Amino acid sequence: MNIITKGFQDDINKFQNEDTWLNLGGAVLKIVAIMVIANIIVRIGKVAIHNIFKIRNLSPLNTTERREDTLSKLLDSVLTYVVYFIAIMMILSVLGIDVKALLAGAGIVGLAVGFGAQSLVKDVISGFFIIFEDQFSVGDHIRIGQFEGNVETIGLRTTKIKSWTGEVHILPNGSITQVTNFSLNNSLAIIDIAISYGEDIEKAEKVIEEALKTMPNQYEELTKTPELLGIQTMGPTEIVLRVIAETLPTKQAGVSRAIRKDIKLLLDENHIKAPNPNLFLYKSGSEQSK
């Protein structure tokens, strides 16, 4: 009991000592100062990052908006992680913890984990180069292998793609070897219009060309006036005229349907008929002899 009482009395004396409270107060002030400075550095760094991208917009070598958003968010995250990691190490040093020994131990553990997590390292490195090289960005319509859809998120480890039917595919970045990006350049809508053999082809072409001239004012997805190429094929019952239209990226499907409908209504107004399906019945030789 005497030993316990003596130890308890030493603790009381330590807390009653002014130096103890001065040291504790100094440590608390240092920790608060470290966190405040870290927060200020992060905020200033984020503002600087976004201002750098704004300055690049004024130069002839500016990047696209989609890449700016992806890179700025990535740099914001990296800056936050690095600054707060350093702040935590400084706080541990203030608390009297040997940071060098801690980092050395963490390095050995990290090395051991690295050998067992090579696929994870591969995913992270691949994700970095996907973002750095601007292979695709959030919102792009892409195809990776058998999966096609819009990019929901891009992380350093995985990429999420949402198909038009609603499924979300999560792909490790290390497994992405080939990517088809449909959002980088304008798309091409191809519209085939079938008319009957008995119709006036020149009249049909003139009607269609007059209609195409007005379509850029109707559809903002069009980048220029659609073009009538002429006769594409000559089938058993119809002549097919082909129209092409350059659209904004991934907008070709909707534009094709709209133009096809407009041309069909216009041909009906000008009494230009589509081919009627013909059904032929053939009798066998035994039935003909009877």
pLDDT per position as a tens digit, 41-77: 888 888 887 787 676 555 444 455 666 666 676 677 7
Which parts of the chain have pLDDT scores under 50? 1, 59-62, 289-290
Residues 6 and 108 in one domain: yes
pLDDT for residue 59: 46
Residues 6 and 107 in one domain: yes
Residues 82 and 20 in one domain: yes
pLDDT for residue 275: 78
SS3 sequence of the chain:
CHHHHHHHHHHHHHHHCHHHHHHHHHHHHHHHHHHHHHHHHHHHHHHHHHHHHHHHHHCCCCCCHHHHHHHHHHHHHHHHHHHHHHHHHHHHHHCCCCHHHHHHHHHHHHHHHHHHCHHHHHHHHHHHHHHHCCCCCCCCEEEECCEEEEEEEECCCEEEEECCCCCEEEEEHHHCCCCEECCCCCEEEEEEEEEECCCCHHHHHHHHHHHHHHHHHHCCCECCCCEEEEEEEECCCEEEEEEEEEECCCCHHHHHHHHHHHHHHHHHHCCCCCCCCCCCCCCCHHHHHC
In a domain, 290, yes or no: no
Both tokens of 35, joined, read: 């966190």
Residues 20 and 85 in one domain: yes
Residues 70 and 11 in one domain: yes
Residues 172 and 203 in one domain: no
| CATH code of the domain in which 77 resides | 1.10.287.1260
| CATH code of the domain in which 174 resides | 2.30.30.60
The number of folded domains in the chain is 3
In a domain, 130, yes or no: no
pLDDT for residue 242: 92
Mean pLDDT of the chain: 78
| CATH code of the domain in which 215 resides | 3.30.70.100
In a domain, 274, yes or no: no
pLDDT for residue 164: 84
For residue 273, how many other CB atoms are within 10 A of its CB? 11
Residues 7 and 104 in one domain: yes
Question: CA Rg, the chain, in Å?
Answer: 35
The pLDDT tens digits of the residues spanning 150-192 come to 888 887 778 889 988 888 999 888 888 888 888 888 888 899 9
Q: What are phi and psi of 279, to 5 degrees?
A: -115, 125
Residues 17 and 106 in one domain: yes
Q: In the listed set 181, 203, 236, which residue is the last one of a domain according to the structure?
A: 181
pLDDT for residue 61: 42
The pTM is what?
0.56
Residues 17 and 109 in one domain: yes
Domain coverage including residue 42 = 2-116
Q: What are phi and psi of 282, to 5 degrees?
A: -115, 135
Residues 44 and 29 in one domain: yes
In a domain, 248, yes or no: yes
Both tokens of 218, joined, read: 């109707």
Residues 11 and 28 in one domain: yes
In a domain, 198, yes or no: yes
In a domain, 287, yes or no: no
Residues 218 and 164 in one domain: no
In a domain, 277, yes or no: no
